[in-house]
Structure 1
Amino acid sequence: MSAPPNDILLQFDRVAYRYPDGNAGLDGCSLDILRGSRNALLGANGSGKTTLFQHANGLLRPSGGTVRYAGQAVDYGRPGLRELRSRVGLVFQNPDRQLFSASVAEDVSFGPLNLGLDDDTVRRRVAAALAAVGLADIGERAVHHLSFGQKKRVCIAGVLAMQPELLLLDEPKAGLDPAMQADLLAILDDLHGQGMSILLSTHDVDFAYRWAEHIHIMAAGRCVASFPAGELPHRAAELAAAGLPLPAVIPLHARLAAQGLVPATPFPRSTDALLAMLPKAPQPKETPCTIA
């Protein structure tokens, strides 16, 4: 069942794109992102995920098909692109591609200043954006003194300062240790809780299954499947065709269910959820103490 048009925030309608060397980046790609939704874009390297993101933000212009935002075809004139990029924020996989100012505050303020906002408004936006990513106290720090994880968060802050409706993150977990990943996901959960739509790309099917509401699979420049994340246990064929495995929790749950150790339904979406389904071990009875 297709979504009502008013619920679709970003739409790719048979979008095609060829790079200057002739290689196809997108090949008739169609994809809908709903307002307020949390989305994971899965696909092998070279499947077109980054190319799709660059079209969503207007960095690339399709050679065929149409990109629509909030029901309107993207206007590739300067005013139209400025409007699009104020509503769709893109965070690159490598933060060094996105950071170019001397200090953190300067970098985060770049976008709002380009919108022509007054200094007081820019300062408020920068302060709020840095606070949202837990970096409120490092505005004056030099960008080149930051850790990789801090750089990623500054990139997100720079996008948040534009106050977008849709946040795009290209492989946001890449290069982060587990603690940094947990911090990043807490930030994303908070932003989504405030109503922001999120689309991120990842190779991690276990994470996508656990985190996303909707999953989209890319292969050879096309979105070959889009479905609610809860349907993933029934989508092994689409995953395999795109070179992706099932999340580990799915076969593990099936094995335990076959042995009668856990219910066959509902399908758990994480190892923690599966462990919670296991029956609790009986507690040993206390032996009464007797006095001779």
Structure 2
Amino acid sequence: MSDLILELDGVDFRYPDGSMGLDGCSLAIRRGSRNVLIGANGAGKTTLFQHCNGLLRPTDGVVRYAGAPVDYGRAGLRALRSKVGMVFQNPDRQLFSASVREDVSFGPINLGLDEAAVTARVDAALAAVGMDDLARKPVHNLSFGQKKRVCIAGVLAMEPELLVLDEPMAGLDQAMQEELLAVLERLHGRGMTILLATHDIHFAYRWADRIHLMAAGRCTASLDAPALADHEAELAAIGLRLPAVIGLQRLLRQQGLLAEGAPLHSCTALLARLQEIQR
């Protein structure tokens, strides 16, 4: 089995009005990895995501899933969308049933599964996102963060291999972001590949295995997150700075207050290391 689960190879996409959505965009996602796509508004992140499960079809270039070019026939798209789950930025675009359980059941029912299989999938998906106790609650009575978790549950009930999330942290307060992050960590721990978009380079550095930079409809760089400090120029080219924790570690090492070693990816981890040194 190929190490790559998803590839975009030189993909162009133009919208009906002639505007460019993607411009020779290439991206490779490794199976089982945590990935962040980062770039300014209008860089093409959402357009790229809509190519991941066939919502959009390239004007030119190739999208491959598990090494094979995407089949845009009805059966091919159905198979692709059972493997690639998409969670939109605005949950109200994705929720349309009366109750939480009904909404999460929609996908498995449309796969033609029997009642027992649907029930098992829905129960497992709701438990995975911590929403099993709210299964009977009307969707319109949920908080914004709860709606996002129901959207993820609806995708999980399809048992995808790759989960794609467009700006999942947008509109969430700090507590809800931490809850959602815990959900993503549990899913990744079970072997799921995750690709999400964000504007937050600090979060990307702390969480991702791979960081993909995007500007003007193309992926300008893909790099291992621990090596981010070596790619300051690439970040600057899309208007981003290195995370503050990288600069702090450089300064502390120059002052002899921190030994050389593997980079720490968050200020919380750096503070813990400094407290250990003081003991």
Match of 1:135 in 2: 131
Mapping for residues 174-185 of structure 1, pairs under 5 Å: 174-185=170-181
**Distance in 1 of aligned mates of 2:71 and 2:123:** 31
User: What's the TM-score once normalised by structure 1's chain length?
Assistant: 0.93
Match of 1:50 in 2: 46
Aligned residues: 279
**Distance in 2 of aligned mates of 1:28 and 1:282:** 51
Counterpart AA for 2:246: I
Return structure 1 stretches of 4+ with deviation > 3 angstroms.
Answer: 279-283
Match of 1:189 in 2: 185
77, 80, 92: which one aligns with 1:96: 92
User: What's the TM-score once normalised by structure 2's chain length?
Assistant: 0.97
142, 164, 183: which one aligns with 2:160: 164
Change (3 A) 1:240 1:179: same
Q: Is the 8 A contact 1:261 1:279 kept in 2?
A: no
Cα deviation, 1:238-291, whole Å, max 9, x if unaligned, reads: 1110111211111111112211111243221111221233265767xxxxxxxx
**Distance in 1 of aligned mates of 2:137 and 2:275:** 52
> RMSD of the alignment, in Å?
1.3
Q: Is the 8 A contact 1:263 1:277 kept in 2?
A: no
**Distance in 2 of aligned mates of 1:234 and 1:264:** 15
**Distance in 1 of aligned mates of 2:102 and 2:62:** 35
Match of 1:208 in 2: 204
Report percent identity of matched pairs: 67
Structure possessing the higher radius of gyration over alpha carbons: 1
Higher helix share: 2
- Judge which range, 136-145 or 267-276, deviates more: 267-276
Cα deviation, 1:123-174, whole Å, max 9, x if unaligned, reads: 1111110011001021111110000000000000000000000000111111
Q: Is the 8 A contact 1:254 1:264 kept in 2?
A: no
**Distance in 1 of aligned mates of 2:53 and 2:3:** 19
Mapping for residues 237-252 of structure 1, pairs under 5 Å: 237-252=233-248
Match of 1:110 in 2: 106
**Distance in 2 of aligned mates of 1:139 and 1:275:** 40
Match of 2:141 in 1: 145
In structure 1, stretches of 5+ residues that fail to align are 284-292
**Distance in 1 of aligned mates of 2:164 and 2:113:** 23
